[in-house]
């Protein structure tokens, strides 16, 4: 409660009085473009991953294994990566993610040619670490902005992923047309094209100066007159247990868990439903591109709304929209209806992701923020491990509609935790008893 009283009495700058310095705008643009290039192949994990498992293991009930591996690696590595970036800066973590993503993509393409499931697992391990490290982009974005424009800054960076939405399906479509002439499987060629797109992302990250961690530690130098909220930093004592003692962080984490879990369910059911009805890899990739548009295409207006309306309200709406989308995917089989549902899942996830990340940044100091967001991702990774594995057998045993009920079961407890939060002004909280 002492921390929350400090938050209540701390100065809070008005949005309209804060101007973004040119240096911050430049760094934000570089991070957004890096997200666009390095994230171009991330969508293939969801569109091609389940299909590859079915081909390698010849079992639809195991379609979610690859996504579970991805989530498991994120669970194990999210906190250590956060500690790395808290110690050595955000850029190192992002560059690590891009490098491991390149290695993982090469191995994923090779496993199809060799028909090797162990190689698929190793490739997914690399992609899992890459995904966790890439999430430090969110931390870097929140580092560079004061509380009243923090979600907007996050929205700018996440919007960069929208370019990758269009690049991913184009890579798959090009691979499908070119693969027969060069004697390669289309899936393998798709994966081997991804590193070509990712490498410019590394160059853009290296151009960011100074490191966002340095900016966060000296925010008043970049925003003269701004007095950001002061917290009691843990000074190295950040741990999941300490982190979860704070109700606002606990609610943000539960919301992230639910949002990640619902998305994991839909990522498995979407590709299985569309593949079962005979749609091509390009069509499946396009449907999941609609999901990614929902995830990132509206990040900027969502970020601005989060700064204006508050983190709590955005999380509530995000979870409701995501649940509606999951029900559409679970209860229908028409391509466009499934695609609409997948889009809504992405849109709801975006609102929850932006708001919960901003909540964590609002209640932490720069030197602990990487680990705090790492803890958020680590717990979200639990959902990403359990639910893809469970979704396949559940769908086979009880039918796809039951996965919609599972989405409701995930959303309700998170909403119950978020609802009592009092947020007098966006980014400032009174912890409920």
Q: Which residue has the higher pLDDT, 54 or 207?
A: 207
Q: Is the pLDDT of residue 405 over 50?
A: yes
Ranking 118-127, 155-164, 345-354 by mean pLDDT, the lowest is: 155-164
Question: What SS3 class is residue 238?
Answer: coil
Highest mean pLDDT: which range of 173-177, 233-237, 321-325: 321-325
| Alpha carbon 385 to its chain's center | 15
Residue 213: phi, psi to the nearest 5? -60, -40
Q: For residue 306, what pLDDT is reported?
A: 96
Question: What SS3 class is residue 430?
Answer: strand
What is the chain's mean pLDDT, rounded?
83
Q: For residue 136, what pLDDT is reported?
A: 82
**Does 218 reside within a domain?**
no
Yes or no: say if 148 and 307 are a contact pair by the CB < 8 Å rule. Answer: yes
**Does 221 reside within a domain?**
no
* Close Cβ partners of 124 (under 8 Å, ≥ 6 residues apart): 45, 49, 66, 69, 70, 73, 104, 108
Q: What is the CATH number of the domain that holds 84?
A: 1.20.1250.20
Q: Is the pLDDT of residue 433 over 50?
A: no
**Does 389 reside within a domain?**
yes
pTM of the model: 0.81
Ranking 23-27, 184-188, 386-390, 396-400 by mean pLDDT, the lowest is: 396-400
* Close Cβ partners of 398 (under 8 Å, ≥ 6 residues apart): none
Q: For residue 9, what pLDDT is reported?
A: 34
How distant, in Å, are the alpha carbons of 93, 295, 302, 366, 426 from that of 150? 21, 18, 12, 13, 10
Q: Which helix (H) or strand (E) holds 286?
A: helix 281-292
164-185 confidence digits (pLDDT tens): 667 777 888 888 889 888 888 8
**Does 13 reside within a domain?**
no
With cut-offs at 50, 70 and 90, classify the pLDDT of residue 199: confident
With cut-offs at 50, 70 and 90, classify the pLDDT of residue 404: confident
Instruction: Give the number of domains in the chain.
Output: 1
- Which among 400, 269, 256, 259 is positioned nearest to 339, based on CA atoms? 269
CA distance 75 to 362: 23
Specify the residue for token string 């790395």. Answer: 84
**Does 223 reside within a domain?**
no
CA distance 51 to 64: 9
- Which among 363, 381, 369 is positioned nearest to 312, based on CA atoms? 363
What single DSSP character describes residue 293? Answer: I
**Does 217 reside within a domain?**
no
Q: The dihedral of CA 227, 254, 345, 44: what is its sign?
A: positive
Q: Is the pLDDT of residue 2 over 60?
A: no
The arithmetic mean of pLDDT across residues 423-430, rounded, is 86
Q: Is the pLDDT of residue 1 over 60?
A: no
Yes or no: say if 374 and 78 are a contact pair by the CB < 8 Å rule. Answer: yes
The arithmetic mean of pLDDT across residues 199-206, rounded, is 90
**Does 184 reside within a domain?**
yes
The arithmetic mean of pLDDT across residues 328-341, rounded, is 86
With cut-offs at 50, 70 and 90, classify the pLDDT of residue 15: very low
Q: Give the domain extent around 418.
A: 2-8+21-211+238-430
* Close Cβ partners of 404 (under 8 Å, ≥ 6 residues apart): 326, 327, 329, 330, 331
59-89 confidence digits (pLDDT tens): 776 777 877 787 778 778 888 999 999 999 9
**Does 195 reside within a domain?**
yes
- Which among 161, 154, 427, 426 is positioned nearest to 300, based on CA atoms? 154
Number of other residues whose CB lies within 10 A of the CB of residue 336: 10
Task: Give the percent of the chain with pLDDT over 70.
Answer: 88
Q: For residue 11, what pLDDT is reported?
A: 38
């Amino acid at each position: 409660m002492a921390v929350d009283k400090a938050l209540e009495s701390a100065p809070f700058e008005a949005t309209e009085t804060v101007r973004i310095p040119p240096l911050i705008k430049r760094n934000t643009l570089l991070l957004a473009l890096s997200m666009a290039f390095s994230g171009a192949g991330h969508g293939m994990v969801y569109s091609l991953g389940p299909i590859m498992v079915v081909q390698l293991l010849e079992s639809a009930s195991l379609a979610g294994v690859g996504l579970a591996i991805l989530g498991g690696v994120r669970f194990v590595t999210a906190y250590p990566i956060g500690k790395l970036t808290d110690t050595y800066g955000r850029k190192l973590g992002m560059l690590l993610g891009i490098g491991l993503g390149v290695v993982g993509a090469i191995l994923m393409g090779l496993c199809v040619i060799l028909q090797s499931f162990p190689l698929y697992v190793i490739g997914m391990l690399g992609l899992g670490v890459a995904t966790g490290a890439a999430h430090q982009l969110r931390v870097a974005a929140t580092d560079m902005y004061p509380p009243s424009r923090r979600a907007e800054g996050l929205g700018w960076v996440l919007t960069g992923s929208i370019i990758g939405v269009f690049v991913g399906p184009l890579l798959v479509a090009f691979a499908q047309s070119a693969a027969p002439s060069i004697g390669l499987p289309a899936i393998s060629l798709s994966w081997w094209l991804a590193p070509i797109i990712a490498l410019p992302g590394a160059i853009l990250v290296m151009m960011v100066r100074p490191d966002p961690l340095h900016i966060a530690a000296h925010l008043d130098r970049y925003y003269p007159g701004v007095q950001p909220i002061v917290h009691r930093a843990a000074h190295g004592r950040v741990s999941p247990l300490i982190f979860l003692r704070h109700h606002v962080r606990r609610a943000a984490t539960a919301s992230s868990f639910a949002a990640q879990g619902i998305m994991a369910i839909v990522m498995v059911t979407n590709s299985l439903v569309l593949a079962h009805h005979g749609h091509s890899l390009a069509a499946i990739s396009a449907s999941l591109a609609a999901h990614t548009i929902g995830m990132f295409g509206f990040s900027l207006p969502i970020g601005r709304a989060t700064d204006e309306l508050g983190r709590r309200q955005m999380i509530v709406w995000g979870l409701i929209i995501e649940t509606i989308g999951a029900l559409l995917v679970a209860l229908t089989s028409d391509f466009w209806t499934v695609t609409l549902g997948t889009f809504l899942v992405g849109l709801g996830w975006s609102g929850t992701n932006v708001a919960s990340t901003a909540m964590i940044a609002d209640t932490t100091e720069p030197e602990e923020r990487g680990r705090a967001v790492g803890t958020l991702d680590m717990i979200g990774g639990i959902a990403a491990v359990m639910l893809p594995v469970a979704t396949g057998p559940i769908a086979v045993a009880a039918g796809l509609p039951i996965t919609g009920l599972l989405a409701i079961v995930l959303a309700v407890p998170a909403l119950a935790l978020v609802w009592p939060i009092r947020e007098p002004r966006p980014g400032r909280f009174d912890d409920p008893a």
